[in-house]
Amino acid sequence: MKFLIDNNLSPLLVDALKAAGHDAVHLRDLGMQAAPDETVLERARADGQVLISADTDFGGLLARSRASNPSVILIRRLVGRRAAEQASIILANLDQVAEDLTAGAVVVLHEDLLRVRRLPMPG
Domains of the chain as residue ranges with CATH? 2-118 (3.40.50)
| pTM of the model as a whole | 0.95
Dihedral pair phi/psi, residue 62, rounded to 5°: -65, -40
Handedness of CA 65, 68, 70, 71 (dihedral sign): positive
DSSP 3-state of 74 = strand
pLDDT category at 110 given cuts 50, 70, 90 is confident
Find the angle CA(67)-CA(73)-CA(75) to the nearest 5 degrees: 135
Q: pLDDT at position 113, please?
A: 86
Mean pLDDT of 49-73: 95
Average pLDDT, the chain: 93
Tell me the pairing of strands 50-53 and 114-118.
unpaired
For a pLDDT cut of 90, what percent of the chain falls above it?
Answer: 84
